[in-house]
Chains A and B, each alone.
Chain A
Amino acid sequence: MEEQKTALYNYHKNLGAKFVSFAGYEMPIQYKDGIVKEHISTRSYAGFFDVSHMGQFFLEGNETLVDALEKIIPADLKSLKLNHSKYSFLLNNDGGIIDDLIITKTSKGFCIILNAACKENDVKQIKKFLNKDHKYFLNNDLSLIALQGPKAVEILEKLVPGVSNLKFMTGDNFKFDNENLYITRSGYTGEDGFEISIPNNKVEKLISFFKENKVNAVGLGARDTLRLEAGLCLYGHDLNEKINPIEANLKWAIAKRRREEGGFNGWDKIKKLIENGSEKKRVGILPEGRVIARENTKIFSESGEEIGLITSGTFGPSVNAPVAMGYINTKYAEIGTKIQLEVRGKKYGGKVSELPFFKKSYVK
């Protein structure tokens, strides 16, 4: 299959982007400044990210739509207010995570932002619970642009008045150049910021405005270092169909009412795990010194017993040290526990750390 491109592909190319194949798309991994500068400028000023490869899935229907979606999504969709968003996931019958997502209540139903690599399968899985009264479509005519960083609000407010009134994980419709934009105050960097859903034919105009305001493009490379410092999971690495939300330390994302009432995929399993605890758990890991513990690095106890595996690891430019996360035997999951990491055949010290590594600055 031919690689897909986002509407901004040529724009990225002209900016000198290096491309990488990601989830069937040719995506910019970095631009001329490189990952560290892109990362730092996002945290100190602002950066924009083309995340149009992600699925923008719209659902419409009557009141039975909520019941249908709650079978596969453990969020409290019944009490989700208009224009409010929740982080949640699609679950399989074993409670494994099919995908992680952000779901927003719209006037006609819901909008779900899905991971690019999973979106086709996600639609299949969701469809199983829908009936003829429900409409659904993946909208490929829309781009998705994230504007992230402490200056994001000031800059976007100049172009789209009113966005500064949004609180974290809420959104609304706005007008821009005679088109409707749906903007949410959200993102995946740990910074304040916005995700802007915009027609493909208007996206270059939006980006030109960002460039005039000295906001630089940020590639997937820095998106990864930013989200890892913020302690956020990357699907396909930190989460997959064999991992459930309890192991992933994401119990908070299962709504209280849903934890009490159940009635969603994998509930039997998840209920038991909530009561008895899981054997392994996702934790932050701080390696000692400068050694980088990348994905699939084995974790050992101080006495040499193999106790886990790193699922994401890199150098954190804002932490100015290597950071990682992974799954560890729950016995060793306590913050501060000393561990060993096997890198290139040698063992290096490290410890279990709190997440996030870098304090989030959401506007709540």
Chain B
Amino acid sequence: MSEKKFSKKHEWVSLDGDTATVGITKHATEMLGDIVFVEVPESGKSVEKDGQAAVVESTKAASDVYSPISGEILEGNKSIVDDPGNVNSDPEGASWFFKLKVKDKSEFDTLMNKSDYDKFCAENPS
């Protein structure tokens, strides 16, 4: 598995061969609050970089989850659909949102590394 990379919309991606795993960051879950509903994409669906791919809802509001990378969905994480609260407890581990077969690996390189992402969050408090 590669190191994690991060998007400005608070998703993380890790790469294993040409399979990417995507989730939302701890920072994102802290902004959202208690997560009570998750919708993940069906396998086989194509997603574009920065295109809407999943939905996450907290007690307060619904938000879209975007794919930081283009490709074809291999799997959505059913365990967070059944138990959305898991996203709050382990957002950057077991509670990934979806895996996809990456179309263009160079897109991965355009994303932020951990220290750049932390800096981005510090500079853009919400």
The one of B37, B55, B81 in contact with A315, judged by C-beta atoms closer than 8 angstroms, is B37
Per the bound structure, the CA–CA distance linking A36 and B88 in Å amounts to: 12
Beta-carbon contact of A292 and B57 below 8 Å: yes
Q: A35-B59, A290-B81, A317-B34 are in contact. List 13 more A-B contacts (CB 8 A).
A: A34-B33, A35-B58, A36-B36, A221-B60, A291-B37, A292-B57, A294-B61, A294-B62, A314-B59, A315-B36, A322-B36, A322-B37, A344-B55
> Is residue B91 within 8 Å, beta carbon to beta carbon, of the partner chain?
no
A225 within 8 A of B: yes
Given A290-B84, A292-B37: A35 and B60 within 8 A (CB)? Answer: yes
**Inter-subunit contact A315/B33 (CB<8 Å):** no
B36 to A292, Cβ gap below 8 A? yes
**CB-contact partner of A290 in B36, B58, B61, under 8 A:** B36
* A148 in the interface (beta carbon within 8 A): no
Contact among B55, B59, B81 for A36, CB-based, below 8 A: B59
**Least CB separation from A39: chain B residue:** B59
B residues in contact (CB < 8 Å) with A: 33-34, 36-37, 55, 57-62, 81, 84
Closest chain-B Cβ to A33's Cβ sits at a distance in Å of: 10
Q: Are B37 and A221 in contact (CB under 8 A)?
A: no
Question: How far in angstroms is the closest Cβ of chain B from A296?
Answer: 12
CA distance A317 to B34 in the complex (A): 10
A6 within 8 A of B: no
Q: In the complex, which residues of chain A have a beta carbon less than 8 angstroms from the beta carbon of B61?
A: 294
Q: Are A34 and B34 in contact (CB under 8 A)?
A: yes
User: Smallest distance from the beta carbon of B56 to chain A beta carbons, Å?
Assistant: 11
Q: Would A35 and B37 count as touching, CB distance under 8 A?
A: no
Contacts of B62 in A (CB 8 A): 292, 294, 344
Contact call B59/A290, Cβ cutoff below 8 A: no
Task: Using CB atoms, name the residue of chain A closest to B32.
Answer: A34
Give the residue of B34, B60, B84 whose beta carbon is less than 8 angstroms from that of A29: B60
Chain A residues whose CB sits within 8 angstroms of the CB of B81 once the complex forms: 290
For the complex of A and B, the 3 pairs showing the least CB-CB separation, nearest first, are A315-B36, A36-B34, A35-B59
Q: Which A18-41 residues sit within 8 Å CB-CB of chain B?
A: 29-30, 34-37
Q: In the complex, which residues 306-334 of chain A have their Cβ closer than 8 Å to any Cβ of chain B? A: 314-315, 317, 322
Measured CA separation A344–B54 after assembly (Å): 11
Q: How far, in angstroms, from A344 to B37 measured CA to CA in the complex?
A: 13
Contacts of B58 in A (CB 8 A): 35
Residues of A within 8 A of B36 (CB): 36, 290, 292, 315, 322
B84 touches A225 (CB 8 A): no
CA distance A225 to B36 in the complex (A): 12
Give the residues in chain A near B84, CB-CB below 8 Å: 290
CB distance from A345 to the nearest CB of B (A): 11
Q: Closest CB of chain B to A16's CB: distance in Å?
A: 12
Closest to A29 in B: B60
Determine the chain B residues whose CB is within 8 A of the CB of A36 once the complex forms.
34, 36, 59
Alpha-carbon distance A315/B56, docked complex (angstroms):
13
- Could you write out 5 A-B pairs with CB less than 8 Å apart? A35-B34, A35-B59, A35-B60, A221-B59, A221-B60
Query: Whose C-beta in chain B lies nearest to the C-beta of A225?
Result: B59
Question: In the complex, which residues of chain B have a beta carbon less than 8 angstroms from the beta carbon of A29?
Answer: 60
| Distance from A188 Cβ to chain B, minimum over Cβ atoms (Å) | 17
